[in-house]
């Protein structure tokens, strides 16, 4: 059975019943139909203290698939089965990957969040609100230039781009304002995918409406002819942009197939943005539940690093345990096996590929947080391979558990859940990777040497110039958000496994003062992805009775 068929067969609980499990009354949520709701801001304020936080991350992704969301959902269901008051906190899917490479992003098999069609498509409209708010700002900027440009904005130095939540490579570089003098001032522009926009990062880091406004006001939209930064506050449209997000800022509540509450809110990509669901959603989960299971994007080098160094300081909470998802298949690929050979047992390749997992185990332990490996079981995995992987983890002084959540739901992760309960009961001391007052260059070096396992960094002439400028502006106290390929620990997607002795090449820095970090562009990371030759869209169908298929 496909994921969507399993999801469609499930009888969901009414969203009011799901809310009640978190102690939320019907008037503390805003219902979007029977099975979706937004949680009103401050609905969680009665409970002041936070429960335990479990962060799910993974090895570097491969075409074999790792199943991080699937394990996150399965682990949440397992904790609920063990009678723990649990909430799952996930990211909202972007339509780009849904229509492109990946298909749905709501877990898989018997570990899914539902209603999966809605969550994967328009959900409660957050992506549309973000797209509209972003493009409203773009229109206001171009109108300002057209109407006399009192702020002296240099049209060649506008940083704010337009966005669309679809992979559309043809829009990466465009020229706008063509036609006639009344059609605006021509300039080069481009589209990013919505989830790469600074507004998405802001939505995910804002603590409340006042903070949302503060952050939006601080956004640098571009530079003047004499190279001074210009902000949204100077354009005097902070409130206009903020009010377009007044509903999008509220966390969304849905359920798993086993009716565990799942809060799904915000979804920046981890390769070009910070890759974590919203602070508001995670805080709500932490206040309302005893155990919150959340995930960060892509591998631990990207998503989890950014969780620790960008999100956790705003969240006011660091993880009590980290779960690293690995699969036998993916590790065999890291060990050099081709995708069409993965069904054959191959212990030597598994041992070689383990180096990738080992690197992530070390980098997560570096933060002083207890780590457990979740081995996401696939049907072709042999008993010998599963035993070998478990043994390799144990030789590394790391607990590991086989999770069969795709086939069995929460029941397949009871052992993992027990291990998580044990680990989160330990007292730990979080060791941050860097301090705010460190120079940007030093922060970048820390990430490369301690998390990626690389040797060092090389800055382009432009990046070197920017390092000096950003210091002069006083922006160097901010954390850094690395934009890097997800496939490799290095900036070269072809270097899988555990590359060593590599240098990361920094092309450019981008100030994201609203989000509160500096984006560091390395290698060739695209902020507007393209569609593959056979996009997932080509397999989707809508029956005359409204039933959807092909969303995986
Ligand atoms: P990630 O979060 O790592 O991107 P997902 O959890 O979204 O991965 O899973 C991606 C796809 O892989 C989904 O379609 C899911 O059904 C499938 N998948 C995940 N785990 C398994 C498994 N153990 N066996 C078979 N398919 C799986």
Task: Give tens-digit pLDDT for 42-69.
Answer: 887 777 799 999 999 999 999 887 899 9
Q: How many domains does the chain have?
A: 3
Tell me whether residue 378 is one of the annotated catalytic residues: yes
Q: Are 265 and 398 contained in the same domain?
A: yes
Question: Do residue 309 and residue 412 come from a single domain?
Answer: yes
210 shares its domain with 284: no
Going 6 to 8 to 12 to 18, the CA torsion angle's sign is positive
Instruction: Tell me how far apart the alpha carbons of residues 6 and 111 are, in angstroms, rounded to a whole number.
Output: 10
Compute and round to an integer the Cα radius of gyration of the chain. 23
Q: In this structure, are 121 and 132 located in the same domain?
A: no
Residue 480's SS3 state is strand
**525-542 confidence digits (pLDDT tens):** 889 999 999 999 998 999
- Closest atom, ligand 1, to C-alpha of 109: 16
- Domain stops at, among 237, 257, 292: 237
CATH number at residue 196: 3.30.1510.10
- 478 belongs to a structural domain: yes
* Side-by-side strand order, sheet with 153-158: 153-158, 220-224, 229-231
Write down the mean pLDDT value for the chain: 96
CA angle 386, 389, 393 (to 5 degrees): 140
Ligand 1 in contact with 367 (CB < 6 A)? no
In-domain check, residue 433: no
Per DSSP bridges, beta strands 111-114 and 252-256 are antiparallel
pLDDT of residue 426 exceeding 90, the answer is yes
Domain extent, residue 504, equals 440-522
Residues 200 and 180 occupy one common structural domain: yes
Give yes or no: residues 401 and 256 share one domain: yes
Residues forming a β-bridge with 191: 162
Q: What confidence score (pLDDT) does residue 272 get?
A: 86
368 and 453 together in one domain: no
Catalytic entry in 68, 213, 215, 218:
68
Helix or strand or coil: residue 333? helix
Span 9-55, pLDDT tens digits: 899 999 999 999 999 999 999 999 999 999 999 887 777 799 999 99
Residue 406 counted as domain residue: yes
Query: Ligand 1 centroid vs 68 CA: distance in angstroms?
Result: 7
Strands (DSSP E) contained in 67-158 are: 86-90, 107-108, 111-114, 153-158
Rounded CA-CA distance 217/236 in Å is 8
Q: Mark whether 406 and 466 lie in a shared domain.
A: no
Least confident of 93-97, 124-128, 303-307, 399-403: 93-97
Residue 418 token pair: 């027990």
Angle of helix 126-146 versus helix 198-205 axis, rounded to 10:
130
Do 115 and 150 lie in one domain? The reply is: no
Q: Is 107 in the pocket of ligand 1 (CB under 6 A)?
A: yes
In a domain, 431, yes or no: no
50 included as an active-site residue: no
Known catalytic residue: 352? Answer: no
Residue 361 belongs to a domain: yes
Instruction: Indicate the residue among 389, 424, 459 that finishes a domain.
Output: 424
Q: Could you tell me which of 79, 82, 60, 83 has the C-alpha nearest to residue 71?
A: 79
24 and 67 inside one domain = yes
Confidence band for 102, pLDDT divided at 50, 70 and 90: low
Q: How confident is the model at residue 103 (pLDDT cuts 50, 70, 90)?
A: low
Q: Are 279 and 410 members of one domain?
A: yes
**Catalytic residue among 270, 326, 349, 374, which?**
270
Would you say 169 and 203 are in contact if contact means Cβ atoms under 8 Å apart? no
Judge residue 338's burial from the number of C-beta atoms within 10 Å of its C-beta, 0-12 exposed, 13-18 middle, 19 or more buried: exposed
Same domain, 351 and 458: no
508 near 501, Cβ under 8 Å?
Answer: no
Helix, strand and coil percent figures for the chain, each rounded to 5 = 40, 20, 40
E strands, 354-463, where? 371-376, 399-403, 456-459
Percent of the chain with pLDDT over 90: 91
Nearest CA to ligand 1 atom 19: 67
pLDDT at 232 > cutoff 90: yes
Q: Residues 484, 525: contact at Cβ < 8 Å?
A: yes
313-366 pLDDT, tens digit each? 999 999 999 999 999 999 999 999 999 999 999 999 999 999 999 999 999 999
Digit-coded pLDDT (tens) for 457-504: 999 999 999 999 999 999 999 999 999 999 999 999 999 999 999 999
- Has residue 545 been placed in a domain? no
The answer to whether residues 89 and 281 touch, using CB atoms and an 8 Å cutoff, is yes
């Amino acid at each position: 059975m496909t994921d969507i068929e399993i999801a469609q067969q499930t009888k969901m609980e009414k969203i009011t019943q799901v809310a009640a499990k978190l102690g939320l009354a019907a008037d503390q949520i805003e219902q979007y139909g029977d099975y979706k709701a937004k949680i009103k801001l401050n609905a969680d304020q009665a409970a002041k203290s936070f429960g335990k936080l479990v962060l799910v991350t993974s090895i570097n992704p491969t075409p074999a698939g790792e199943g991080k969301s699937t394990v996150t959902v399965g682990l949440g269901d397992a904790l609920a089965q063990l009678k723990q008051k649990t909430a799952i906190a996930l990211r909202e899917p972007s339509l780009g990957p849904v229509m492109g490479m990946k298909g749905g992003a709501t877990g898989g098999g018997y570990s899914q969040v539902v209603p999966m069609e809605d969550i994967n498509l328009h959900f409660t409209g957050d992506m549309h609100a973000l797209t509209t708010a972003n493009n409203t700002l773009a229109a206001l900027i171009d109108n300002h230039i057209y109407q006399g440009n009192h702020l002296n904005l240099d049209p060649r130095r506008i940083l704010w781009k337009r966005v669309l939540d679809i992979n559309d490579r043809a829009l990466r570089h465009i020229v706008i304002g063509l036609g006639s003098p009344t059609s605006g001032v021509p300039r080069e522009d481009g589209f990013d995918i919505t989830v790469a926009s600074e507004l998405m990062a802001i939505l995910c880091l804002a603590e409340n409406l006042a903070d949302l406004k503060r952050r939006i006001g601080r956004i640098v939209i571009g530079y003047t002819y004499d190279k001074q930064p210009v902000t949204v506050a100077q354009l005097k449209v902070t409130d206009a942009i903020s009010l377009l997000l007044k509903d999008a800022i509220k966390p969304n509540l849905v359920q798993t197939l086993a009716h565990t509450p799942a809060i799904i809110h915000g979804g920046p990509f981890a390769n070009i943005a910070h890759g974590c669901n919203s602070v508001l959603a995670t805080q709500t989960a932490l206040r309302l539940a005893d155990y919150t299971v959340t995930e960060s994007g892509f591998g631990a080098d990207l998503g989890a690093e950014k969780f620790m160094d960008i999100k956790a300081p705003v969240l006011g909470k660091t993880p009590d345990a980290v779960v690293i998802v690995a699969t036998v298949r993916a590790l065999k690929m890291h060990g050099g096996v081709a995708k069409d050979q993965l069904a054959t047992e191959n212990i030597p390749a598994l041992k070689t590929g383990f180096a990738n997992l080992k690197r992530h185990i070390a980098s997560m332990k570096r933060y002083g947080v207890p780590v457990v490996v979740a081995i996401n079981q696939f049907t072709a995995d042999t008993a010998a391979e599963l035993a070998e992987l478990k043994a390799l983890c144990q030789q590394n002084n790391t607990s590991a558990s086989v999770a069969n959540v795709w086939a069995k739901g929460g029941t397949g992760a009871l052992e993992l859940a027990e291990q998580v309960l044990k680990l989160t009961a330990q007292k730990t001391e979080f060791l941050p990777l860097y301090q705010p007052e460190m120079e940007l260059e030093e922060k970048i070096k820390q990430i490369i040497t301690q998390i990626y396992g690389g040797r060092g960094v090389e800055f382009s002439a432009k990046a070197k110039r920017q390092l000096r400028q950003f210091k002069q502006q006083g922006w160097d106290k901010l954390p850094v958000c690395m934009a890097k390929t997800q496939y490799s620990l290095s900036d070269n997607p072809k270097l899988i496994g555990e590359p060593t002795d590599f240098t990361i090449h920094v092309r450019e820095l981008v100030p994201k003062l609203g989000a509160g970090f500096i984006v560091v562009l390395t290698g060739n990371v695209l902020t507007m992805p393209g569609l593959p030759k056979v996009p997932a869209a080509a397999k989707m169908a809508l029956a005359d009775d409204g039933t959807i298929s092909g969303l995986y």
